[in-house]
Amino acid sequence: MEKITIINNLKITQNVNIISFHYDVDYLPGQVIGISEDPLLPPRLYSICNAPGNRTIQILFDIKSEGRLTPRLAEKKPGDYAYSGGITGNFTCPDNEKAFWIAAGTGIAPFASMFFSGNTANKYLIHGGRNLESFYFQDDFEPVLRDKYIRCCTREKGKGIFNGRLTNWLKEQNELPADYKYYLCGSAEMVVQTRDILVSKGIAFDSIMAEIYF
């Protein structure tokens, strides 16, 4: 694995960080990178959340207190090291494609990378979170996507926020466009439930792409 140097480690909520590091390799928005704190341990895959082009990579991650990796990553400071197992993945969305991006929690990361790359035409973004602070990058999304940016919150209420799970929002839609692609990123449970809802509303199975995080 390749040693990488931490540039910044930003705590954006109590349990979520964005960590940045130098990485002089090209990648596509939506791809993932393998990260490890120890070169002898297998890397874990994280979606890249920034746009390509500046030789810097950012990842968004939940800090799992029982986890092997994230508590250590959360403690990293500029100048510290981590290790990369390389970039991979084909969860990519063409700029000219009409698409719904559907994410839960930190599953927003690949869509953030797409968005910051300028891929915003004919895109809807549906993001589910527990609390109002869970809508990472909302200050960037909202002015651009406007009414095509839907936030679904299960534990708090707010102006312009759908109160409930993103799956409930989808169930309440009388019709979803069949000529769009549907990209899902979240837990296995979220992906399965969302895919079933989409299929029940007439969306073709091969129009649904999924990236599962663990």
- State the amino acid at position 117 in one-letter form: S
Q: Within the chain, what is the greatest distance between any pair of CA atoms?
A: 52
Q: Which residues contact 62 (CB under 8 A, 6 or more apart)?
A: 15, 16, 70, 105, 106
Residue 122 has a pLDDT of: 96
171 pLDDT more than 80: yes
**Tens digit of each residue's pLDDT (9 = 90 or more) over 175-189:** 999 999 999 999 999
- Residue 104 pairs in a beta bridge with 128
Backbone angles phi, psi at 182, to 5 degrees: -125, 115
**Tens digit of each residue's pLDDT (9 = 90 or more) over 22-62:** 998 899 999 999 999 999 889 999 999 999 998 999 999 99
User: Would residue 63 count as lying in a domain?
Assistant: yes
Residues 199 and 151 in one domain: yes
Structural domain range at position 19: 2-88
Are 184 and 210 a contacting pair, CB within 8 Å?
A: yes
Residues 166 and 112 in one domain: yes
Domain C-terminal end among 59, 88, 117: 88
pTM across the whole model? 0.95
Are 30 and 93 a contacting pair, CB within 8 Å?
A: yes
Average pLDDT, the chain: 95
Residues 84 and 106 in one domain: no
Residues 5-34 have a mean pLDDT of: 95
Angle of the 138-145 helix axis to the 109-116 helix axis, nearest 10? 50
Residues 120 and 206 in one domain: yes
Residues 152 and 69 in one domain: no
Residues 49 and 118 in one domain: no
**Tens digit of each residue's pLDDT (9 = 90 or more) over 57-86:** 999 999 988 888 999 999 999 999 999 999
Residues 163 and 71 in one domain: no
Residues 82 and 131 in one domain: no
Split at pLDDT 50, 70, 90, the class of 111 is very high
Rounded to an integer, what is the distance from CA 193 to the centroid of its chain?
18
Backbone angles phi, psi at 151, to 5 degrees: -105, 130
Domain C-terminal end among 61, 88, 115: 88
Q: Which residues contact 157 (CB under 8 A, 6 or more apart)?
A: 163
Residues 116 and 65 in one domain: no
Domain C-terminal end among 34, 66, 88: 88
6 pLDDT more than 70: yes
Residue 214 has a pLDDT of: 64
**Tens digit of each residue's pLDDT (9 = 90 or more) over 128-166:** 999 999 999 999 999 999 999 999 999 999 999 999 999
Question: Which two three-digit tokens encode residue 211?
Answer: 């990236």
